[in-house]
Amino acid sequence: LCSCRITVFRAKEQMWYRIRDEQLGWGNRTRGGVTVMRIPGTQPVLLRQPYVQEVAALLTNQLRMASERYALAYGEALAASL
């Protein structure tokens, strides 16, 4: 198990045969918790217009927040050098 926080991007509309676990099985793989980001649409269309723009915005925001947490934990200079 890792200690990190995991972010899962999940389609709001799930097929009836899909996994019922809200965290899509990732909760068993970390002690840091799981953030579930729900995206409109179904799995096959998440990376198509117009949904891909929302996925990109959410991913950009998650990466920015992770970078800020890393900088606070390890120092600005180390984070900037990566």
Burial 16-51 (b: 16+ CB within 10 A, else e): eeeeeeebbebeeeeeeebeeeebebeeeebeeeeb
Better pLDDT: 73 or 61: 61
The answer to whether 69 and 76 are in contact (CB under 8 A) is no
Better pLDDT: 16 or 80: 16
pTM exceeding the 0.85 threshold for the entire prediction: no
pLDDT tops 70 at residue 82: no
